[in-house]
């Protein structure tokens, strides 16, 4: 556990898709990651990061799904075309989607001296992955677990039994003080 607060944290919302994007940055190194960036809001996300003095290194997708139109490829093109460079996209290897980094269970994604740890949480989709902040204070669940609900399991590799097991074995074992950072506002995701 880190002795000084080093996390820069912003929760960003897309009204049209009812989804959240999370910006996490290391205040010392100024490196950052974005979790679930939306394609139509890439410019907003880049501007927020720059206003905070952060360099976004990795865009992480919690899952591949029709209602989560990722902005990572657009972001990679915009950032790498500019003066910053080095941006990469990441998603679970099990998702079958393309990305620069294919994540597996318990992999760590570093931003400066901080990281998030991948927890395989299939059920909403076969490749769903949640990410636990290094100090255990936050978990980013995408649509695996929501406030008062969970993601749908009736299409695209969904399984209610698998989702139940994922939530029980990977998320409900976290500390009670761990803040749930969901991917979508609950409404039929």
- Please report, for the domain that includes residue 161, its CATH number: 3.60.15.10
Residue 128 lies in a domain: yes
Q: What is the pLDDT along the chain (189 residues), one digit of tens a residue?
A: 445 669 999 999 999 888 999 999 999 999 999 999 999 999 999 999 999 999 999 999 999 876 666 888 889 888 886 554 589 999 999 999 999 999 999 999 999 999 999 999 999 999 999 999 999 999 999 999 987 888 889 887 899 999 999 999 999 999 999 999 999 886 544
> What per-residue confidence (pLDDT) applies to 17?
85
187, part of any domain: no
**3, β-bridge pairs:** none
Mind giving me the DSSP string for the chain?
Answer: --SS--EEEEEEEETTTTEEEEEEEETTT-EEEEES-BGGGHHHHHHHHHHTT-EEEEEE-S--BTTB-B-HHHHHHHHHHSSS---EEEEEGGG----SEEE-TT-EEEETTEEEEEEE--SSSTT-EEEEETTSSEEEEETSSBTTB----SSSS--HHHHHHHIIIIITTS-TTPEEEESB-SS--
Q: Is residue 78 part of a domain?
A: yes
Strands 88-92 and 101-103: parallel
Query: Could you tell me if residue 1 is inside a domain?
Result: no
- Domain, as residue range, for 91: 7-182
**43 falls within a domain:** yes
With the C-alpha atoms ordered 81, 67, 120, 183, is the resulting torsion angle positive or negative?
A: positive
Domain assignment of residue 36, yes or no: yes
Q: What is the total count of domains within the chain?
A: 1
Residue 72 lies in a domain: yes
Residue 188: its pLDDT value, please?
A: 47
Does 126 fall in a domain?
Answer: yes
């Amino acid at each position: 556990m880190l002795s000084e607060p080093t996390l820069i944290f912003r929760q960003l919302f897309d009204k049209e898709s009812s989804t959240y994007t999370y910006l996490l940055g290391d205040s010392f190194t100024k490196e950052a990651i974005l979790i679930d960036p939306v394609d139509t809001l890439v410019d907003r996300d880049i501007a927020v990061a720059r206003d905070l003095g952060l360099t976004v290194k990795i865009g992480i997708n919690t899952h591949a799904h029709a209602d989560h139109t990722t902005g990572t490829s657009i972001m990679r093109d915009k950032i790498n075309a500019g003066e910053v460079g080095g941006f990469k996209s990441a998603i679970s290897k099990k998702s079958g989607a393309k990305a620069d980094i294919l994540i597996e269970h318990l992999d760590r994604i570093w931003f400066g001296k901080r990281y998030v740890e991948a927890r395989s949480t299939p059920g909403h989709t076969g490749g769903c992955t949640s990410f636990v902040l290094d100090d255990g204070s936050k978990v980013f669940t995408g649509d695996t677990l929501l406030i008062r609900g969970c993601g749908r399991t009736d299409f695209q590799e969904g399984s209610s039994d698998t989702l139940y097991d994922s939530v029980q074995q990977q998320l409900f074992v976290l500390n009670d003080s761990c803040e749930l950072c969901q991917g979508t506002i609950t409404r039929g995701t």
